[in-house]
Structure formats: C-alpha cells, structure tokens
Amino acid sequence: MSQFTRRTALTGMGVTVGLPWLESLGRAMGEAAIPAGQPPTRLAWLYVPNGVHMPNWAPKTEGKLAELPATLKAFEAIRGSLTVHTGLTADKARPNGDGPGDHARALSAFLTGCQAKKTDGTNIHSGISVDQVAASGMGHFTRLPSLEIGAEAGAMAGNCDSGYSCVYSATMSWRSATQPLPKEVNPALIFDRLFGVSEDANRKDRDRLRKSVLDTVMKDATGIRGKVAVGDRRKLDEYLDSVRDIELRMARAEKLPPPAKPTIDRPKAIPAAYSEHLELLVDLLVLAFQTDSTRVATFVLANEGSNRSYQFLQVPDGHHDLSHHGKNATKQEKIAKINLFHAGIFGRLGTKLAAIREGEGTLLDHCLIAYGSGNSDGDRHNHDDLPIAVLGGNKLGVVGNRHIVHAKETPLANLWLAMLQKAGIQRTALGDSTGLLKV
Amino acid sequence: MFVFSGSCCLIFLASGQPATAPTDGLGSFVQKYCIQCHQGNKAKGSLVLEKWDGPAVLKARLAWEHSVERAQAGDMPPVSKKIRPTTAEVEQFSQAVNRILAEADRLAKPDPGRVPPRRLNRVEYAATLKDLLGIDFNPAGDFPADDIGHGFDNNAETLSLPPLLMERYLAAAESALDRVISLKTVKPTLRHLASRYLEPALKNPGEAKSFRELTADRLFQTYKVTETGEYTLRFKVYGKAADGQPPQVTILVGERSLGKFTLDNNEKNPRVIEAKATLRPRELRLGLRLENPGKDRAAMVEWAELEGPADPRPQTLRDLLAVDAKLPAEEKVRLVLKSFAQRAWRGQVDAAALDGVIALGIDEQKRRDSWLAGVKTGMLVILCSPRFLFRVETDNRPPRDEPYDLTETQLASRLSYFLWSTTPDTELLELAGDGRLRVTLDTQVARLLKSERSKALVENFFPQWLQIQRLESFHPDKARFPTFSEPLRLAMKTEASKLFGDIVANDRSVLDIIAADHTWLNQKLANHYGIADNLGNPRGMPPRVPGGKPIVGDEFVRVELGEQPRGGVLGMAAVLAVTSNPTRTSPVKRGKWVLEQLLGTPPPPPPPNVPELEATPQGGKSETLKQRMELHRANPACSNCHLKMDALGFAFEAFNALGALRDNDEGHPIDSAGELPGGRKVQGMRDVRAYLLDNKDKFTKTMAERLLVYAIGRGLTPADRKTVDQIVEATRKGDYKFSAMVLALIRSQAFNQKRGRDTDSGS
C-alpha cells in the first residue's frame, strides 16, 4: 500500500496526523506481484536453537540428494520438495567486537542480517526482519499480515546471554530495528486470531465503535507526543503505530471475505507435552496457510540458548548444556536425537502441506519454508556453514531433492532475498546481504 | 548481569577515592599489550587506545570499560599472543581505568536520569483494572509475555507495544467493561419459597395444601445475606378471622419488625403483603409472625419471597456510577467520565483529552439513547488511552534546565506502582492533590508497606532479582530425582515468598535474606529437608531441642532452624534448584549466582570453545565432580574467574540438585571445601553465609541497585552510583531495616526528580 493510500485511509477515519516515519510502515518496497489466477506464495521461517550436529545434517555430495543424512531422514517422503543449503553465514551473529553472546545474536541476526546492539535493556536495536518485509509487501491481501508463533514465551528472569537482553534470544521477528514482535505461544489464542472468537452479530457495531475509540485515543496520543522529550517519543510512536495497524487491518477486513470455517476445534490450552504443543502449532500454521488467513509466518521451536531437557527422548540433560559437547560422542548423539525430533516437526509441516491440493499442485508447492539455526555447531558457536533447509516451491520454479553448496561467507540474507523474490517482492538489500541467491 | 549499563567492571569500588586519580599500571599495560594492534587508521576493531590520560579515557568511556572487560576475561590480548599479562597486571590496569571513571562519577553533575513513558506490564495492568472496576478476573492472561530489561519485567525501555498487544488491550478493556456494565437493567435476584417449605419444618411437605395455616408464633426461613443492599420481603396471604377479629401479622427480620398488616381478606381474594429492609451480610431469620393468636384465627400463607439486593452491582461499580439520577443523561455521562478519568489516569487529567472522551461518550449516549452506553464508550477510550496504558510524566510546568521534582501526583504513581504494582489509591491521590504527599511521605510509605497489597513487591521484585522465577521452567531428570513434584515446586516457591513477605510486611532486616535463622515450611518441604518439627529437629533422630511441634499438612509454619544448614536464601531449595542442571548440581552456577545476585560482582562470560562438564565421566575413569573441575581449571583461560566461583559453589555440594541434603554424589563422598583467592577457607553453606556477612555492605549495595532498577524502571548509569551509596548508607544507619532502604530510595533524586531540559537534549 502506498504512502498516499495509507494516509487517505486514516483521513477517511477522521484522523490526520503527522506520521513519524517507521521502517515497518515505510511500505515503499512495492507490493507483491502475483500473476492473476495463481495461488499465492506463502513464506515461513522456522528456528531451532543451539545449532545442530552437522555430521548428521550436511549431505556429503553436492547436487541431487543421494541417501539422506540421519537428521534429514525426516523428509524422506517429501524429499522432492527439499533443498538443503550449506555454506551460508550469519556474520552479524558473530561478536564483531561485542564479546560473548552468540546465542542472543544468533537469533536476532537470523532474519535481520543485523548486529544486535549489546544492551541489557536500554536502546534495544536490531533490524527489520525478512518476514516483516514480506508482510509489508503482501500482508494487505490477508486478514493477518503475518503470524509469529513459538513454543516458548520470553524468558522469566535475568539477562539471557552475556549482557544481551532476553528480547534478542526470544525474538525472531522484528517489525523495525527497535520493535521486536513477541510470539504467540498459546494455540487457543492463535486460533482466535485466525478465525475470530465466535459468530458475532454485533461485530459491525463493535467495529464502528472501535474505530471511533481508536480515532479518539490517536488524537490524544499525538498530542502527548508533542509534550514529552524527544527521546521519549519512541514509546508513543510504538503506540501510534500499533493503533494505526489495527485501523488498517479493520479497514482491510471489511473488504475481505469472512474468516474461513476452521476444520479443527478451538484448542483448549497449551498442551503440557512439548511435542504435542509443537504439533498443534504446526497444525495451526497449516490451517493459516490453507485458509489464506496469512501468507507470512515465523515459528520459534525453542528460544535460542534454551536449556530445555528432552526427557521424552531419553535426553534428560539441558539442551544448551549438551550443545557444549566438547566432541564427546555421547553428547553429540543426544544432540542428534534432539535435532531429529525438531526436524520431524518440520517434516510434519511439510507433509501436511503436501497433502493439500491447491491449484495445479499442492499447497507445499506454493510455499517456501525455511528451517534452520543461527548457530552451526553449538560447541564452537560458529555462525558460518549454518544448517539451513528449504521446503516447497516446486510450482515456483524450485527444483527440490537437492543440496546447494554456497561459497564460504555467503550471507544468509541473500537466501532470504531470493525467497522474497519468489513471492513477487523485489527487494535489493536486507541487513548484510550482498545479492540474490538461486534457490 | 551487570546493573550499571555500559560498565562491566568487576572491581568493587570503595567510596571515598582520593581526589586525584593516578593512572599507574594503565600506560605500561596499554603499551605492552594493546597499542600494537590498537593504534592509527588500521586499529583492530576500530578501537584506538593511543591516549590513556584521564580525559581521553572519559571521552571513550565505553571503549575503555569494554577493554577492561576483555582483559579480565582473558581474551585480550588475544590468546595467540605469546606475551601474556599476569593477573596482577590485569588487576592494576582495571583498577586504574576504574579509578578514573569513579572519580569522574563523583564529580559529575547530579542527574536523575530519563525514564521514558512506562507501559504497564501484565501484572500491573491486571491489578490496576481490578482496582478500578472491582472485577475479579485476569484480563491480562492473554497478553504476550513482557520482555525483561535489566533483570526485570517492568523496564520502561523493553516494555514495547506491538500491534498484537494493542489488539489485546482493546479486547481486554471491552470484555472487562462488558462484565461490569450491563446496558440492560439487571433484575435483582428473586427467591421464591412455597409455604410448605418454611420453618418450622413440616413432616410431610409433599402432602401439604398450597395455603399453610399460621396459628401461633411464626413461619420463617433462614437466609444468609452475602451482599449489602435493599431487600424486599413478600408473603401471599389471606386471613381467617375469629371473634370478628381478623388476624394481624408482622413481617420480621430477626426480631425487628418491618411492618404490621391486618388480614381482613379471605380465601377468595388473597393478597401480597411486602416490606423493605436494608440487610447486611450475615445469617438472618426472615419471618411472618401472628400477633393475635386465638381459637380458629389463622393467617393463611401461600408463599414467601425475598428479592434483592435492589441494586445487584458490586460496590466499586456503584461508586463508579454514582450520580444523581435526576440529572440529564448528558450531564451524567460527563460527570461519571470525569471522575473515572481522574482515577484511571492517576490524577493526571488533561482537559482536552477528557473533552475528547466526553464528546464520544455523549455521541454514543445519544445514538443508543442510554447514558450507560455513553459512559461505557467513554470508559473504553479512557482504558485504551496512552494515559492509562503508560505512565506518562508530563505536566504543565515550564521545563527547567536543572533537574526538578516530579509533581506529587506523579510521585504518587511511582510510589504505588513500586510498592503495590497497581494504581495509587484515593488516599495517595488526595494527598498529592492537596500537595501534602511529600510532607507525609514516611507515614505513607509505612502504610503502603504494611498493606496487604505490598505482596506485589514480594511476588514481583524478589523472585526476579534472585532468579527464583526460573523455578517455573526447572525440569530435573525424573530418573535421578523421582521425588520432584509440582507440589514440591510450589512449596519451594512459597518458602521463599514467606521470607520476603516477612521482611516487607514486618520490616525485618534485609540481612535476613542471607542470614535468617528461621524459615517457613509445610510438611512436603519439611520432609524434603529432613526436618521433623518447628524447632528444626532432624527427622528419624531423637530431638536435640525438646518441645517441637511436628509439621503437618499444606500449611506453612515458621521453623527455627537451630543446627540445620539452612536459613536465608542460601539454604533454600528454590535457589539451590535454579542454580542446578537437570541432571546434577552445578557448583559453577551456584558460585556465579552468589557472586552475581548477592555480591553484584558477576564473573565475565566464559571464553568460547570451553566444553561443559560431563554428567558422568567418560572412559570409566572415576573422578569426582570436583576433580574434574580442577582439571578444567588447569586451563589458564578459565582459572582466573573459576577460583572464586568454584570455592563458593562447592560449599553447597552437600545439597543435591533439588536442594535436599545428601551424603554422597553418585557414590563419591561430598567435598564441600574450597579456598577463596587470598586464602580464606570456605566449607559448607554456613561459611558462605559468614563470608557474605563480612561483606554485608556489598550485599546491601547489590540489593539497593536491584531495588532501584525495579523502582524506576531503567538501567542504572554511572550517575546513579552516588544515589546507590546514599541508599546503602541510610540502610546501614537504619539497622538494615527494609523500610530504611525503601525510604532512602524513595527520597533519592533518581526516584523523586526528573531530568532538566539541557541534559535531556544531550542524550
């Protein structure tokens, strides 16, 4: 949506305010261009913490996949949709003079290609993440511009990694360099966001009222903004930005068809078992794409540096403790078990999407779903040669069943630019990107 | 974790430095170890360390603090360099840099710092809404988790407001208002009872006729009133006269008469008699008495009814909507919204903003032809306004260059959210409104701390500071620790809360945190600790102290610990568990916890490529954890920091990963002896406690820092060091009482003032 129409939309609601420019709202990157009559492209990114056991991940040969490495066996059934990328680097996850904190940086740099500012809370700063760039290009086609989900909420206490605020190690999506987007962990609430709470006869009336309420508070907030110190305005800008976002979404919803009828019941609560929790999140993500409720999603399987224990896999140790394996074979085996479990979740997502017909192929054929970690080996904390896989895209010109080896130090952000392009979003740079990759 | 943002010094700075800050040890160190790479245009990492005089260091303060951190961590100069500085050299270098910084801080212009508008966090939002509307549900349960900044979830900078949360705010306010304000008139509850069920009870009520005869005394029902209010009592009756006299009856509440009726009607025209009364919560007999019994004279009763309270809304809401019913609708909307805004915006009502609210309210009132609809809409605006969602400290006074006092209304808010995590009550707001809050500050702080609501401080500050919050995600290996259960987890948490609650509500010494000689246990936790009774006698042994009461059930009782190696947080299962790994104890984490959370001197993070310890040794070699740690420590990159950490951490080895006592570690004897740098021997938890007591001002300082961060919602800066020192001093003078610390903090510049104009533009 161009600057002009956005402002018009606001004026139409009776508010005309000087809009502070926010990266997330600076939607000048152009809209997604999808040829008429074709199913839309969906993009998603899944994250696993603490790196992986690379010998079980990386295929031995380049090109067409032969026997799949142990961890990738989870994708046997859909290997035609699988592309494994090795050699990619998240340079901004490296210290670059900032000292320890590889976990916090690994997640915060993953989709942004930006170096997180080392702070325990004051002046949080990273960069806009690729999913939010995608959301700004194609979010207006759907009721939700993007969906951010995860299985672990933010941390409960303390700083999380060597002087980095917990925001960094718990957040994958950044609406702007200064605005991390929290993930929704409760399946019931995700369900509500996708499909609405219930049939609401008074919805029209409520929306009318909401509009007037938001108009009124927006005027007031703009007034307050003028009265606080320059440095304090950022908080009020966040407020204004969020209010505007809701207004835009309401305006959009009026033009879109009503939410699709979900094929599953509303989940009751967060399942106690981690695996069930993840499976439920996968099911909801599939539904979100299937019903075209959103076309962009991020999914954090566990926060970076997570020390969760996987007792149901007979791995009672903490994941992070284990990842510092010191080449101990027993520990590496346990890590591989955790990796296989996580990959299985990703595989479940792929398999489910592949089972849904859409257009002249499957839903998976119209998705590009990246999976990986911002750490390669959790012991060394190295951020080159990252474990990255992409599922889907067979109808988007992606040839699957392949292993692509990239030149050393190729920025991970280059792959993200390529994914954007497949979704019809032309963007020339993201974070530390240097160009476009072939996917 | 470092409390002072931007500074990472490990060296503890005593107050009262010499006026000149010598730079010995600095120049020589830089020349010998740094300058080779860090000079000129091609300086590594763009870090230039060519000048090291006072002004140069201050100019590049962050770079120098960073250099100290890297040198102490042992990763600068790089490990690849052959010439390595000695520990003493690093220490000298660090001290020299820190002396320059400390001296500058001492002379720095006072600065209360800048606190951006602070969004209410989940806890504060829920408590505030509950106080405003008198609702009893948690509207914030659906909100995304608040991010932690500087160790706490109430940090102004990290509390962001993403669209998802704004959406939830809107929905939460709507649903809260829907619950409390119903646009349809709510009918009072009606209890209808056929006369056969009235007391005295009939033998066979099923066979009774519809009209029951009252010939003597009374018929009644026993009813428990729960809500104060106006009630109506009704009976459907007719009379059977005798001797020309119709029966006379009285409607009674207890023995109080509400009205006398002569029943001169008959069975052809029964009628309803009624009386009204204001009833208060208690059990009452509601009855009908015959006043003139006589042969064949009877009152015939078909049923009894109790209707009420006439206004079924909760008291908070009735107060909220209290307005003269005769006023025009528009005026009602105006008045109610004005007083609600005063409360909800915490005394900071802006006339223009209120006009906007009222205009929309009146609009809606006209559209729906209901003043309540107008009020509800206006309230929704008030609750979605940044004036409610944030604590914004603006006022109409002209800005000044020098720091200046917050208005008393703003101070009331800071106080209330600090000690109660909720909105200021009417007493605070009224005092502030009259300009009498500052002169009554001591009394008010005492009142706030004594109040039930200070539980918020107990539940929010202490567990976050001491990381007890992490207990929620603690999942010990079930095979190794089969006794762990959810009730035990809860008991661990409760024990900690009890201690903190005692300190806050009963104004105990803050040193109780490290050195209390008592604790609170229920049966579950007492079993876990092997404690039999409230005098701390061990289980399964003859009591050493006679007269103890056994600890039974879920209730927590105070336990004198006597010889038990517990007391204060050091011996608490909650702490010992959160500093353990899922499969074993972690002396490193425990030592680090003591250094970081209690002494405020966290060791730097480990250098990369250091493996974690094995859960069980490889290759059949049978080494104790301690022996394995010693091997690990032989690595020079590690030894520096580990000396202290390990000595403190190993002292707790007699406690397993759940904090229960053990006499062996997977077959190995327990060795809890260690030596601190400097030669001080530490063996067992009691020695750590003694060490902490010898360093009690360091502990007090750490606590003061954390409490200050929590109270003002921002990370500390060097300018706050003076404030912290003052709080420590006041706490010491006040016998380490908690209130002494809180009061000094509240009186400090950082809490009380805001930055002037010139310093503001400079940041």
**Contact between chains at A175 and B162 (C-beta distance less than 8 A):** yes
Q: Is residue B322 classed exposed, middle or buried when 0-12, 13-18 and 19+ CB atoms within 10 A define those classes?
A: exposed
Contacts of A24 in chain B (CB under 8 A): none
Hey, are the CB atoms on B612 and A220 less than 8 Å from each other?
no
Nearest residue of chain B to residue A181 (CA atoms): B162
Nearest CB partner across the interface for A182, out of B162, B377, B714: B162
Of the candidates A120, A182, A216, the beta carbon closest to that of B145 is on A182
B190-307 belongs to CATH 2.60.120.260: yes
pLDDT digits (tens, 9 = 90+) for B248-266: 999 999 999 999 999 999 9
Measured between CA atoms, the residue of chain A closest to residue B605 is A162
Same domain, A252 and A267: no
- Percentage of chain B exceeding pLDDT 90: 59
> What's residue A156's pLDDT?
53
Pair A242, A274 in one domain: no
| Closest Cβ–Cβ partner in A124, A163, A217 for B385 | A217
How many distinct structural domains can be found in chain A? 2
Cα of A221 to nearest chain B Cα, Å: 6
Q: Return the higher-pLDDT residue of B17 and B447.
A: B447
- Measured between beta carbons, the chain B residues lying within 8 angstroms of A147 are none
Q: Kindly determine whether residue A122 and residue B5, on different chains, have CB atoms separated by under 8 Å.
A: yes
CB B469 to CB A156 under 8 A?
yes
- Are residues A71 and A102 located together in one domain of the fold? yes
Residue B630 or residue B142, greater confidence: B142
Residue B611 to residue A162, Cβ atoms within 8 A: no
DSSP per-residue codes, B385-441: SHHHHEE----SSPP-SS-EEPPHHHHHHHHHHHHHSS---HHHHHHHHTT-TGGGH
| Residue B8, pLDDT score | 34
Q: Give residue A7's pLDDT band: very low, low, confident or very high (50, 70, 90).
A: very low
Inter-chain CB proximity A309 and B477 less than 8 Å: yes
**Is there a single domain that holds both residue A218 and residue A205?**
yes
DSSP codes, B450-475? HSGGGHHHHHHHHHHHTTGGGGGG--
Q: How far is B455 from chain A (nearest CA, A)?
A: 19
Identify the pLDDT of residue A27: 35
Q: A170 and A309 share a domain?
A: yes
Say yes or no: A72 and A45 in one domain. Answer: yes
Chain A residue with Cα closest to B393: A228
Q: Which among B151, B363, B760 has CB closest to A159?
A: B151
A319 to chain B, minimum CA–CA distance in Å? 10
Question: Are A304 and A169 in contact, with CB atoms under 8 Å apart?
Answer: yes
Nearest-CA distance A360 → chain B (Å): 35
Please state, rounded to an integer, the average pLDDT across all residues of chain A.
87
pLDDT tens digit sequence for B278-330:
998 889 899 999 999 988 899 999 999 999 888 777 777 788 888 888 999 99
Tell whether A279 and A413 lie within a shared domain.
yes
Higher pLDDT, A197 or B597: B597
Tell me if A165 and B163 make a contact (CB, 8 A cut-off). Answer: no
Cβ contact (<8 Å) for B2 and A232?
no
Chain A touched by B157 (CB under 8 Å): yes
User: Three-state SS across chain A?
Assistant: CCHHHHHHHHHHCCCCCCCCCCCCCCCCCCCCCCCCCCCCCEEEEEECCCCCCHHHCCCCCCEECCCCCHHHHHHHHHHHHEEEEEEEECHHHCCCCCCCCHHHHHHHHHCCCCCCCCCCCCCCCCCCCHHHHHHHHHHHHCCCCCEEEECCCCCCCCCCECCECHHHHHCCCEEECCEECCCECCHHHHHHHHHCCCCCCCHHHHHHHHHHHHHHHHHHHHHHHCCCCHHHHHHHHHHHHHHHHHHHHHHHHHHCCCCCCCCCCCCCCCCCCHHHHHHHHHHHHHHHHHCCCCCEEEEECCCCCCCCEEHHHCEEEEHHHHHCCCCCHHHHHHHHHHHHHHHHHHHHHHHHHHCCEECCEECHHHEEEEEECCCCCCCCCCCCCCCEEEEECHHHCCCCCEEEEEEEEEEHHHHHHHHHHHCCCCCCCCCCCCCCCCC
The alpha carbon of A373 is separated from its chain's Cα centroid by a whole number of angstroms, namely: 12
Residues of chain B found within 8 Å of residue A324, distances taken between Cβ atoms: 610-612
Which of B157, B354, B702, B759 to mutate to test binding with chain A, by most A CBs within 10 Å of its CB? B157
Please give the ipTM for the structure prediction.
0.80
- B351: chain A residues, CB-CB within 8 Å: none
* Domain presence at residue A9: no
Query: pLDDT tier at B667 (50, 70, 90 boundaries)?
Result: confident
Query: Nearest by CB to B605, which of A100, A232, A318?
Result: A100
Q: B220 pLDDT band (50/70/90 cuts)?
A: very high
Residues A191 and A201 both lie in one domain: no
Question: Do residue B612 and residue A239 have CB atoms under 8 angstroms apart?
Answer: no
What is the rounded (10 degree) CA torsion for A410, A412, A415, A419? -170
B119 touches chain A (CB under 8 A): yes
Question: In sequence order, what are the beta bridge partners of B236?
Answer: B272, B303
Q: Which of residues 230-289 of B touch A (CB under 8 A)?
A: none
Same domain (yes/no): A203, A182: no
Average pLDDT over residues A34-53: 88
Query: A154 or A385, which is more confident?
Result: A385
Residue B390 in this model has a pLDDT that exceeds 80: yes
Dihedrals phi, psi of A248, to nearest 5 degrees: -65, -40
Residues 358-417 of B with CB under 8 A from A: 359-360, 363-364, 377, 380-381, 384-387, 389-390, 392, 394
- Residue in B69, B157, B386 closest to A217 by CB: B386
How far apart are the C-alpha atoms of B659 and B657, rounded to whole Å? 6
Residue A384 included in any domain: no
pTM of the model: 0.81
A98, part of any domain: yes
Instruction: Say whether B389 and A224 touch across the interface (CB within 8 A).
Output: no
Tokens of B82: 């052959």
Is B351 at the interface with chain A, CB within 8 A? Answer: no
List B residues 169-228 in contact with A (Cβ-Cβ < 8 A).
Answer: 170, 174
pLDDT tens digits along A355-376: 999 988 999 999 999 999 999 9
Nearest CA in chain B to A168: B147
Distance from CA of A379 to the nearest CA of B (A): 6
pLDDT exceeds cutoff 90 at B114: no
Give the residue-averaged pLDDT of B662-680: 86
Residue A392 in domain: no
Interface test with A, best of B153, B161, B584, B706 (most A CBs within 10 A): B161
pLDDT tens by residue, B153-186: 999 988 999 999 999 999 999 989 988 887 666 7
Say if B141 is an interface residue toward chain A (CB within 8 Å). no
- For chain A, the first-to-last Cα distance in angstroms comes to 28
Does residue A432 sit within a domain? no
Taking residues B451-478, report their average pLDDT.
Answer: 94
Task: Nearest chain A residue to B364 by CA: give it.
Answer: A209
Name which of B117, B470, B583 is nearest A236 (Cβ-Cβ): B117
Q: What is the pLDDT of residue B432?
A: 97
pLDDT for residue A25: 34
Q: Please answer yes or no on whether B163 and A241 come within 8 Å at the CB atom.
A: yes
* Per-residue model confidence as pLDDT tens digits over B704-720: 999 999 999 999 988 89
- Among candidate residues A242, A258, A274, the one where a domain is terminated: A258
CB-closest option in B46, B149, B612 to A165: B149
pLDDT band at B452 (very low <50, low <70, confident <90, very high): very high
Tell whether A66 is covered by a domain: yes
List phi, psi (to 5°) of B402: -85, 160
- Residue A152 resides in a domain: yes
**CB spacing of A119 vs B5 below 8 angstroms:** yes
Q: Is A309's CB within 8 Å of B582's CB?
A: yes
Contacts with A, B 598-627, CB within 8 Å: 604-612, 614-615, 618
Q: Give start-end residues of each CATH 2.60.120.260 domain in chain B.
A: 190-307
| pLDDT value, residue B4 | 43
In this complex, is the C-beta atom of B158 within 8 Å of any C-beta atom belonging to chain A?
yes
- Please judge whether B66 and A99 are an interchain contact, meaning their C-beta atoms are less than 8 angstroms apart: yes
Residue from B348, B366, B385, B598 whose CB has the most chain A CBs within 10 Å, to mutate? B385
pLDDT for residue B322: 87
- pLDDT digits over A231-282, tens only? 788 899 999 999 999 998 888 887 887 777 788 888 988 999 999 999 999 9
Task: Assign A326 a pLDDT band (cuts: 50, 70, 90).
Answer: confident
Residues A249 and A279 in one domain: no
Predicted local distance difference test score (pLDDT) of residue A362: 95
Each residue's pLDDT tens digit, B495-516: 999 999 999 999 999 999 999 9
Tell me if A105 is assigned to some domain.
yes
**Domain span holding position A237:** 197-258
Q: Once rounded to an integer, what is the mean pLDDT over residues B552-561? A: 96
Domain co-membership, A165 together with A74: yes
Q: Are residues A358 and A221 in the same domain?
A: no
pLDDT at residue B613, rounded to an integer: 54
